[in-house]
């Protein structure tokens, strides 16, 4: 569905609202909470503005809970959860929901798997019945598993093996993380996708998709009493299970720059770099988000101005917090595509010049105001829809430890100073914390090789590239 990569949209760069001149309006609204006896926590926000409901379930399981040999399983279950259970068989989840006027989707990240339902209030009990059935009684039909294995393998070929940006990004994370599971991709290594066993699947489902490992968020034209009543009927009887083992591995401090060169059929080179940054719950999250906008938000951003507009060295430049939200320290990414005839080294040198400038000179008042305006406009925009509120409430509950911290987010953005931005640049953007990955174009060895790439099949070079797949990407069943 989307990448969690925090590329700042050009649209937002053009959306100027002067929030700094006025006090931040409190964005607090009533959220009712309930915890079932099996451990599932439920957040409910009644919003009767439209006759519609958004129900999100956040499972605290993603690729960081996998191990070598079974990578990609969390993403696989994102697909499998729509492939039949005991009461509602194969294909029935979508058919029954859509017949009731609802729709759904899901996404997987390194940290969580999230299922999303949108429907009218009249379908509320049906949705709980559907969700309860697949949580408790998911089918493990060998034929469906093999079919879905093929779908996931095809998704990997398209998004990674035949995608130069995806392949290089996978290389970047595989090199930047030597111990922590963020080193492998959400979609999984191809060799693992091909070799998951039934035992692996059942063990992973048992571990990750338990009610006590999930948070349900419901926003819309419903009452908390209705939600709790149906949750008691359909979800509470599902037994709690043993939680996934705590991820105790922390990435050792990087003590020197790491470099990767990928040679592959391509029209133009690609330059990527990643700097280690802390997890989302860290206080530096907000200054890093401001920095992200200063560097990449629109045509007036620093790197666009320097690389694309002024020096005309690159066709594009983008980046930001690689995972958006993360439980553990991740990467701040920078990606640039040099123009034809421009060496990646030249672009790289200019990027370092701009980073060094941020270490010695404070950003301007205008840049700070613009970044905050974009962040606040984006944040407030999410609060205008039941989807946005459900996703944001769940994200703050899961990644920041308490949904109430969402109500302080606007003030936390406003508190960021120019000195804060300079401090985080000095702290995290050092050569020792940096990994650089460069894709150098090679001409196709044969016409057949080029055709494979164009058709979405991996080239020989890509197949040999073991360190492949996108790490920070999320995927979707649709």
- pLDDT per residue over 70-108, tens digit each? 999 999 999 999 999 999 999 999 999 999 999 999 999
With 60 as the cut, is the pLDDT of residue 468 above it? Answer: no
Once rounded to an integer, what is the mean pLDDT over residues 222-246? 96
Alpha helices in 209-343 (DSSP H): 224-234, 285-296, 302-303
CA distances from 253 to 67, 183, 272, 275 (A): 21, 15, 20, 12
Q: Kindly report which listed range (251-255, 298-302, 444-448) carries the lowest average pLDDT score.
A: 444-448
Mean per-residue pLDDT over the chain, rounded: 89
Residue 13 banded pLDDT, cuts 50, 70, 90: very low
Query: Quick one: pLDDT band at residue 476, thresholds 50, 70, 90?
Result: low
At residue 266, the pLDDT reads 95
**Contacts by residues 380-386 (CB-CB < 8 Å, ≥ 24 positions apart):** 380/27, 380/410, 383/27, 386/47, 386/50, 386/52, 386/53, 386/54, 386/219, 386/220
Place of tokens 């006896």: 37
Given a cut of 80, is residue 457 above it in pLDDT?
no
22-31, 91-100, 334-343, 346-355: the lowest-pLDDT one: 22-31
Mean pLDDT along residues 369-383: 95
Would you mind telling me the total number of residues written for the chain in this entry?
478
Which whole number is the average pLDDT over 247-255?
A: 96
In tens, the pLDDT along 418-452 reads 999 999 999 999 999 999 999 999 976 654 555 54
pLDDT band at 286 (very low <50, low <70, confident <90, very high): very high
Tell me, what's the pLDDT at 446? Answer: 53
Question: Does the pTM of the predicted model rise above 0.85?
Answer: yes
Contact 335, 319 (CB under 8 A): yes
Say what the pLDDT of residue 474 is: 53
Q: Which residue has the higher pLDDT, 184 or 22?
A: 184
For residue range 146-176, what is the model confidence (pLDDT) as tens digits? 999 999 999 999 999 999 999 999 999 999 9
- Mean predicted confidence (pLDDT) in 245-267: 96
Q: Give the C-alpha separation, 418 to 416, whole Å.
A: 7
Q: Are 73 and 132 in contact (CB under 8 A)?
A: no
Distance CA 236, CA 457 (A): 45
What's 5-29 look like in SS3?
Answer: CCCCCHHHHCCCCCCCCCCCCCCCC
Using a 10 angstrom Cβ sphere, with 0-12 exposed, 13-18 middle and 19 or more buried, the burial of residue 387 is middle
Q: What is the mean pLDDT of residues 243-272?
A: 96
pLDDT over 60 at 134, yes or no: yes
pLDDT at position 29 is 87
Contact 393, 219 (CB under 8 A): yes
Does residue 415 surpass a pLDDT of 90?
A: yes
Q: What is the DSSP letter of 182?
A: G
């Amino acid at each position: 569905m989307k990448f969690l990569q925090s590329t700042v949209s050009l649209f937002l760069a053009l959306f100027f609202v002067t929030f700094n001149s006025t006090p931040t309006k409190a964005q607090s609204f009533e959220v009712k909470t309930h915890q079932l006896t099996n451990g599932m926590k439920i957040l409910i926000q009644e919003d009767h503005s439209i006759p519609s409901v958004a129900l999100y379930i956040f499972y605290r399981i993603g690729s960081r809970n996998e191990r070598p040999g079974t990578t990609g399983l969390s993403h696989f279950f994102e697909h499998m959860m729509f492939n039949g259970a005991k009461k509602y068989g194969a294909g029935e989840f979508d058919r029954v929901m859509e017949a009731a006027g609802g729709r759904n989707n899901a996404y997987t990240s390194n940290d969580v798997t999230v299922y999303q339902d949108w429907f009218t209030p009249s379908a509320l009990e049906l949705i709980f019945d559907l969700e309860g059935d697949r949580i408790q009684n998911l089918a493990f039909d060998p034929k469906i598993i093999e079919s879905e294995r093929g779908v996931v393998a095809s998704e990997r070929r398209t998004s990674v093996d035949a995608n130069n940006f995806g392949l290089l990004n996978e290389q970047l994370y595989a090199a930047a993380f030597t111990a922590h599971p963020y080193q492998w991709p959400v979609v999984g290594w191809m060799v693992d996708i091909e070799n998951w066993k039934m035992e692996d699947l059942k063990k992973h489902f048992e571990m990750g998709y338990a009610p006590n490992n999930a948070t349900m968020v419901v926003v819309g034209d419903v009452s908390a009493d209705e939600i709790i009543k149906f949750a008691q009927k359909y979800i509470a009887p599902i037994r709690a299970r043993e939680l996934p083992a705590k991820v105790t591995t922390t990435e050792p401090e990087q003590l020197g720059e790491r470099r990767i060169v990928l040679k592959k059929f391509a029209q133009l080179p690609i330059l990527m770099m990643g700097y280690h940054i802390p997890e989302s719950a860290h206080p530096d999250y907000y200054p890093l988000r401001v920095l992200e906008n200063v560097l990449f938000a629109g045509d007036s951003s620093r790197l666009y101005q320097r690389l694309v507009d002024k020096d005309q060295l690159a066709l594009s430049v983008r980046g930001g917090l690689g995972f958006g939200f993360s439980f553990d320290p991740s990467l701040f990414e920078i990606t640039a595509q040099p123009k034809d005839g421009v060496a990646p080294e030249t672009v790289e040198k200019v990027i370092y010049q701009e980073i060094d400038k941020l270490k010695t000179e404070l950003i301007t008042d205008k840049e700070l105001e613009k970044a905050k305006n974009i962040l606040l406009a984006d944040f407030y925009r999410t609060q205008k829809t039941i989807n946005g509120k459900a996703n944001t409430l769940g994200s703050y509950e899961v990644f920041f430890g308490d949904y109430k911290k969402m109500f302080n987010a606007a003030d936390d953005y406003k508190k960021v100073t120019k000195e804060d931005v300079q401090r985080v640049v000095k702290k995290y953007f050092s050569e020792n914390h940096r990994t650089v990955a460069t894709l150098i174009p090679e001409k196709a060895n044969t016409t057949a090789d080029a055709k494979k790439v164009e058709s979405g099949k991996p080239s020989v070079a890509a197949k040999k590239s073991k360190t492949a797949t996108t790490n920070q990407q999320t995927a979707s069943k649709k």
